[in-house]
Amino acid sequence: MFSPSSSMAKPKLQSSFFFFFFNIVALSFFHSALSLLNPEDHGPGLAVEADDINIVQTRQDSSNKQCDFSVGKWVYDQSYPLYDSDCPYLSTAVTCQKNGRPDSDYEKWKWKPVGCSIPRFDALRFLGKMRRKRIMLVGDSIMRNQWESLVCLVQGVIPTARKRVTYSGPSMAFHAMDFETSIEFFWAPLLVELKQGSGKKRILHLDLIEENARYWRGVDFLVFDSAHWWTHSDQTSSWDYYMEGNRLIKNMNPMLAYQKGLSTWARWVDLNLDPRRTRVIFRSMSPRHNRQNGWKCYNQKQPLPFFSHQHVTEPLVVLQGVLKRMRFPVYLQDITTMTAFRRDGHPSVYRKAISQEERQKLGVGISSDCSHWCLPGVPDSWNEMLSALL
């Protein structure tokens, strides 16, 4: 059974920071617990820089002896990656090596928590745990990123004739036939329902979710994410109006809207899922590194060594507040800080094969993806953590 609490911190720094670190823990905030169809999705939001980092601490349950996976550092490991970019299930937008990225060290960093370790991903062991079960990753294109990583981590031990991918509406599923297991992705970047109203106006229904949630019934392991689309600006937002009940609303604080949408999700989970049959994980937001028109991640080759200061991300605080009020035990998989170090892990300009002419223009006029992640790469560590949690 999952512990419904989690915490977040950064790797070991100077002694002055430890004073800050332990004070944050003492204060604590809350108890908790597209597809790459649009790889140019670089809406403004939680840009994370060496001088602009977002970190939240959550209260640790003193009875929880489980290792806190969110606190640690990246260590270089020559034995990584665990698969290569020839994995047939990767989208072109994340195969950075195939697309001409000249360096590859970003594939070789392993996350090492303080005081413990995350086991190396074992595909056969994972599939054994998933035998006759369904695991579904629900969310946006960053969750699609993670789904592709997970499929590539397991597919190498399965004979070609005994694996396949099926598509059905907003979902896709990788099937490991001999294990009677499916690893599924469901496209629901906002979790709640986005519909087209009269005059082709796009309406985000903050209190409606069943159209998406009906697909989640009967799944053994559900992993959710939702934050990126909520933080888009007016120019890149996916809706024209909010609707709550019968009220059509043009403008609303985006974090208030996010809180309302997450609360609708939380009510559905509380009312419709049985914790004896279904485990639920909510993965925290994957940071963007796209300040200065997306070029903060271009030509970055190593993780950030430290953060000079920290402040709270609003989406994570909102998420923690919603999870705190739930009856259902949801585990918050906190990857925000560990991922914030990895400015080197984005596709940047290598989201597609680059011609010689385009190479000469690097840094000028070519869009740079600092939101998604190269594979193999950072999401593999999320999945090693996920496997350990399961």
| Residues with catalytic roles | 141, 369, 372
Report the chain's terminal Cα–Cα distance, integer Å.
9
Q: Which residues pair with 196 in a beta bridge?
A: 202
Sorted by sequence, the CB contacts under 8 Å of residue 269 that are 6+ apart come out as 280, 326, 328, 330
Cis peptide before 4, with omega less than 30 degrees from 0?
Answer: no
Tokens of 15: 């002694």
Q: Exposed, middle or buried by CB within 10 Å (0-12, 13-18, 19+), for 119?
A: exposed
CA separation (Å) from 93 to 142, 362, 374?
Answer: 12, 17, 8
Q: Do 350 and 25 contact (CB within 8 A), yes or no?
A: no
Q: Measured between alpha carbons, how far is 177 from 197 in angstroms, rounded to an integer?
A: 42
CA angle at residue 151 from 148 to 152, to 5 degrees? Answer: 85
Q: Measured between alpha carbons, how far is 137 from 215 in angstroms, rounded to an integer?
A: 12
Name the residue with tokens 């903050």. 206
Name the residue with tokens 């990788």. 174
Q: How many residues make up the chain in this entry?
A: 390
Sorted by sequence, the CB contacts under 8 Å of residue 45 that are 6+ apart come out as 227, 228, 231, 232, 288
Q: Quick one: how far is CA 109 from the chain centroid?
A: 18
Q: Measured between alpha carbons, how far is 69 from 8 in angstroms, rounded to an integer?
A: 8
Sorted by sequence, the CB contacts under 8 Å of residue 89 that are 6+ apart come out as 148, 151, 152, 155, 165, 174
Tokens of 268: 């559905």
